């Protein structure tokens, strides 16, 4: 009795290996035939030609098949980028230290901007600095420091020729916004002016949807409406609040008309800041921030000087009293330092965490206003400030998530196109080789 030609499972457990014994028997049977005798071909396949069924649990992979499905890979990349954007839990200690340094720089930047606004308010309260005078000194100091920094780092302060008109327009818009903000510091509490000026991201979303054709989603609308709700609690208009019921020492020393005008000025300044942010997107990220600083310092100096001479009184320090000059110079120094720290911090810190920390200047403004200027905000103002801070931060994080998804999708699309082009290359090479062979023959 002959045994069938089947693989011995005790010796070979892989069902996809070719049965070597069966192949050898087939070779021996063909070699035993006589030389002149030809074997008749048969349609019956031998064992080593039989294609065995592949179990459903086995997946075929080759060089054209991605190791991870495209959607799953995209999802993993998005989750990893979102986790890295708001956390410092990195396995690489060098990267972790870099991001921690970025967080520290962002906090120092918020402190610098708070010191700038604090010295500006102190100058106006001590009657040796009007709003246009403060803007002029700040702009001159920033211009000098920016040109010196451009010379040190060998950066062209004029920028590329194709974008100079946009740089001029951005500097003009931001100069007007800064003048409006500094005037609001002279008539409003430090916290109120800082909170209302931080409405810039809301106005940026609205303007970008109109000018840059970006989507204005329902979440953007929710954040905008919530911020308007917070503005009502911060400004406390007479339509919703009765001022007589508020404790007198919580009120600002400014008159009602000047306070109302200050609120209008700071809101207009926030709109100018939003237009400036949209123009920065138009200019592009290739332009160094020092170039923006040079243009802003130059244009702001040219605008503030006529306003100071024509519309406000000029204040000069008395003999031997140089404190007003020191205060005004510190406004410009802290402004330039805050911009440098902000730029370096955003380059190193996780993007989401940078957005959260950038709102800490509101907290510092509340502390400085309470300790140095004795500005005690009531519960309504604090509630409105928290609403505005929370909504602007949420909007920034949502915009960051959308940009991350868009960049990941574009990257995946580029990889897919590159892989498709590589798949077509062998066909073209073989066709070219065949054509060359035919020509040679």
- pLDDT tens figures, 243-258: 444 444 444 444 578 8
Dist. CA 152–CA 332, nearest whole Å: 19
Residue 168 has pLDDT above 90, yes or no: yes
Per residue in 89-130, pLDDT (tens digit) is 555 788 888 888 988 999 999 999 999 999 999 888 776 678
Q: DSSP string spanning 268-281?
A: HHHHHHHHHHHHHH
Residue 39 has pLDDT above 60, yes or no: no
- Tell me what pLDDT residue 324 has: 79
Q: Is 266 within a domain?
A: yes
The residue among 85, 283, 300, 115 whose CA lies nearest residue 194 is 115
Q: Is 412 within a domain?
A: no
Q: Is 360 within a domain?
A: no
Q: Is 210 within a domain?
A: yes
Q: Is 58 within a domain?
A: no
Q: Is 253 within a domain?
A: yes
Structural domain of 305? 136-314+365-405
Q: How far apart are the first and last CA of the chain?
A: 58
pLDDT tier at 7, thresholds 50, 70, 90: very low
Q: Is 352 within a domain?
A: no
* pTM across the whole model: 0.71
Residues 192-196, mean pLDDT to the nearest whole number: 93
Residue 227 has pLDDT above 70, yes or no: yes
- Tell me what pLDDT residue 169 has: 96
Domain count along the chain: 1
Mean confidence (pLDDT) of the chain = 77
- Tell me what pLDDT residue 14 has: 46
Question: Which of the 8 DSSP states describes residue 48?
Answer: G
Cβ atoms of 340 and 150 closer than 8 Å: no
Q: Is 245 within a domain?
A: yes
């Amino acid at each position: 009795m002959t045994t069938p030609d089947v693989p011995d499972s005790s010796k070979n457990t892989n069902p996809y290996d070719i049965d070597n014994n069966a192949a050898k028997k087939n070779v021996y049977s063909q070699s035993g035939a006589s030389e002149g005798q030809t074997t008749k071909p048969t349609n019956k396949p031998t064992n080593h030609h039989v294609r065995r069924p592949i179990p459903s649990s086995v997946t075929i992979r080759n060089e054209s098949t991605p190791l991870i499905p495209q959607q799953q890979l995209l999802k993993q990349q998005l989750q990893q980028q979102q986790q890295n954007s708001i956390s410092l839990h990195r396995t690489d200690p060098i990267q972790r230290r870099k991001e921690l340094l970025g967080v520290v720089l962002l906090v120092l930047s918020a402190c610098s901007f708070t010191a700038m606004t604090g010295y500006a308010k102190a100058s106006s309260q001590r009657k040796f600095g009007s709003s246009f005078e403060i803007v002029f000194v700040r702009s001159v100091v920033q211009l000098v420091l920016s040109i010196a920094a451009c010379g040190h780092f060998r950066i062209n302060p004029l920028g590329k020729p194709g974008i100079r008109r946009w740089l001029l327009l951005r500097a003009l818009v931001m100069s007007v916004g800064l003048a409006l903000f500094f005037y609001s510091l002279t008539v409003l509490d430090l916290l109120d002016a800082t909170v209302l000026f931080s409405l810039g991201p809301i106005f940026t979303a609205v303007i970008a949807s109109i000018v840059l054709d970006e989507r204005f989603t329902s979440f953007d609308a929710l954040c905008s409406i919530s911020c308007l709700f917070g503005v009502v609690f911060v400004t406390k208009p007479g339509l919703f609040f009765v001022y007589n019921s508020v404790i007198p020492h919580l009120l600002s020393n400014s008159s009602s008309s000047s306070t109302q005008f200050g609120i209008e000025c700071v809101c207009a300044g926030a709109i100018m800041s939003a237009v400036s942010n949209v123009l920065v997107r138009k200019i592009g990220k290739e332009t160094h921030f020092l170039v923006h600083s040079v243009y802003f310092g130059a244009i702001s100096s040219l605008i503030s000087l006529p306003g100071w001479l024509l519309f406000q009184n000029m204040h000069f320090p008395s003999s031997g009293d140089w404190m007003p000059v020191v205060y005004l110079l510190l406004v410009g120094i802290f402004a330039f330092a805050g911009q440098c720290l902000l730029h370096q911090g955003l380059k190193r810190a996780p993007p989401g965490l940078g957005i959260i920390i950038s709102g800490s200047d509101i907290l510092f403004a509340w502390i400085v206003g309470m300790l140095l200027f004795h500005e005690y905000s009531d519960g309504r103002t604090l509630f409105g400030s928290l609403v505005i801070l929370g909504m602007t931060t949420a909007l920034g994080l949502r915009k960051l998530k959308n940009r991350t998804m868009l960049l990941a999708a574009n990257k995946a699309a580029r990889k897919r196109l590159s892989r498709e082009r590589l798949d077509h290359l062998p066909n073209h090479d073989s066709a070219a080789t065949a054509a060359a062979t035919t020509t040679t023959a």
